[in-house]
């Protein structure tokens, strides 16, 4: 894996929020290429510990090799929704800070070969973890009902032409199985109006997003992770979450607001932190990133 492909977003802001301290324990629940993890590691001294989790075992294997001589770091290939069981297995009862960047990475587009992008002609897979038991994107596209396809494209992709696209997919697969990203992108493009094809984003963008979310159960996993994470932080511990689209951000925002009303945590900022103009110039992916952060409040006696 080329470690230069993935640039960690909002790195300075994440460090300012988490404020990693020597001797403390941190969890990077979406370790990815290890950019945020490496920056945290620099701050925690020789007595600190950091646990890196990622659902993509290729990424974890790369990080294990990179940090083979580093005793302060532990890595686990698993879904971050299982964070409690993962921490238990590693003998970690609580952490001082937990971080998650819930967007999919540049690695998945550029190097995974699993069909996350319509810019490359690849098999329709989209699974972060191939042995997870998840149905691949090919499975969903070729077996789910037209109504179910329309629902996920509308809900997860927020696609205005969901019905037209679902109908086109259902029609195309009756002729032959849809197996590759380029086949699917072509079907989508032909299903939407010509003016939409010339829009700011590629007409397949939202449908590919919807399929990726459906394949990996991303929204459900995020909800479970948030519930688990706040119970695994020490008093005054920090939870920091970066999202990249409105569905994820809405889940995090509403969860934090609900728990704040229950007196379990305090918002560290009323509005999400976004990338600076300088960062978005260097890393366009950061443009849609939103960082929301909370502190666990000590329980009243």
Domain boundaries, the chain: 11-107+218-296, 135-216
Cα Rg for the chain, rounded, in angstroms? Answer: 20
Neighbours of 274 (CB within 10 A): 16
Q: Are strands 49-54 and 25-28 parallel, antiparallel or unpaired?
A: parallel
Q: What is the pLDDT along the chain (301 residues), one digit of tens a residue?
A: 444 445 799 999 999 999 999 999 999 999 988 999 999 999 999 999 999 999 988 889 999 999 999 999 999 999 999 999 999 999 999 999 999 999 765 554 555 566 778 888 999 998 887 666 679 999 999 999 999 999 999 999 999 999 999 999 999 999 999 999 999 999 999 999 999 988 888 999 999 999 999 999 999 999 999 999 999 999 999 999 999 999 999 999 999 999 999 999 999 999 999 999 999 999 888 889 999 999 998 764 3
pTM for the model stands at: 0.91
Q: According to the model, what pLDDT value does residue 7 have?
A: 76
**CATH architecture of structural domain 135-216:** Orthogonal Bundle (1.10)
HEC string of the chain? Answer: CCCCCCCCCCHHHHHHHHCCCCCCEEEECCCCCCHHHHHHHHHCCCCCEEEEEECCHHHHHHHHHHCCCCCCEEEEECCHHHHHHHHHHCCCCCEEEEEEECCCCHHHHHCCCCCCCCCCCCECCCCCCCCCCCCCHHHHHHHCCHHHHHHHHHHCCCCCCHHHHHHHHHHHHHHCCCCEHHHHHHHHHHHCCHHHHCCCCCCCHHHHHHHHHHHHCHHHHHHHHHHHHHCCEEEEEEEEEEECCHHHHHHHHHHHHHHHHCCCEEECCCCCEECCHHHHHHCHHHHHCEEEEEEECCCCC
Q: How many CA atoms lie within 13 A of 75 on its CB side?
A: 25
* Whole-number pLDDT of residue 106: 57
CATH superfamily of 11-107+218-296: Vaccinia Virus protein VP39 (3.40.50.150)
pLDDT at position 5:
45
**Contact yes or no for 299/265 (Cβ under 8 A):** no
pLDDT of residue 233: 98
Decide the pairing of beta strands 73-77 and 233-243. Answer: unpaired
Torsion of CA 107, 189, 158, 79, to 10 degrees: -30
Say yes or no: do domains 11-107+218-296 and 135-216 share a fold: no
């Amino acid at each position: 894996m080329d470690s230069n492909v993935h640039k960690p977003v909002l790195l300075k802001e994440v460090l300012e929020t988490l404020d990693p301290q020597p001797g403390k324990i941190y969890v990077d629940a979406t370790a990815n290429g290890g950019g945020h993890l490496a920056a945290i590691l620099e701050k925690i001294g020789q007595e600190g510990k950091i646990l890196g989790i990622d659902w993509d075992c290729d990424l974890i294997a790369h990080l294990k090799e990179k940090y083979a001589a580093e005793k302060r770091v532990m890595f686990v290939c698993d879904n971050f929704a299982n964070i409690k069981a993962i921490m238990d297995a590693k003998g970690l009862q609580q952490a001082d800070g937990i971080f998650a960047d819930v967007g999919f990475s540049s690695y998945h587009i550029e190097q995974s070969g699993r069909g996350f992008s319509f810019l490359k002609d690849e098999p329709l897979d989209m699974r972060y973890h191939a042995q997870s038991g998840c149905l691949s994107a090919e499975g969903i596209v070729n077996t789910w009902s037209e109504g179910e396809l329309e629902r996920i494209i509308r809900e997860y992709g927020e696609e205005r032409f969901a019905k037209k696209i679902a109908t086109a997919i259902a029609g195309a697969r009756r002729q032959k199985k849809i197996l590759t990203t380029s086949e699917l992108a072509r079907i989508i493009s032909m299903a939407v109006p010509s003016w939409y094809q010339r829009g700011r984003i590629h007409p397949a963008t939202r449908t590919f997003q919807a399929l990726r979310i459906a394949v990996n159960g991303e929204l459900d996993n995020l909800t479970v992770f948030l519930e688990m994470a706040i119970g695994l932080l020490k008093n005054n511990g920090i939870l920091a979450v970066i999202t990249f689209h409105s569905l994820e951000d809405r889940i995090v925002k509403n969860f934090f607001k609900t728990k704040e009303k229950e007196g379990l945590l305090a918002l560290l900022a009323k509005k999400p932190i976004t990338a600076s103009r300088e960062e978005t110039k260097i890393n366009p992916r950061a443009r849609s990133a939103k960082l929301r952060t909370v502190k666990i409040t000590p329980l009243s006696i």
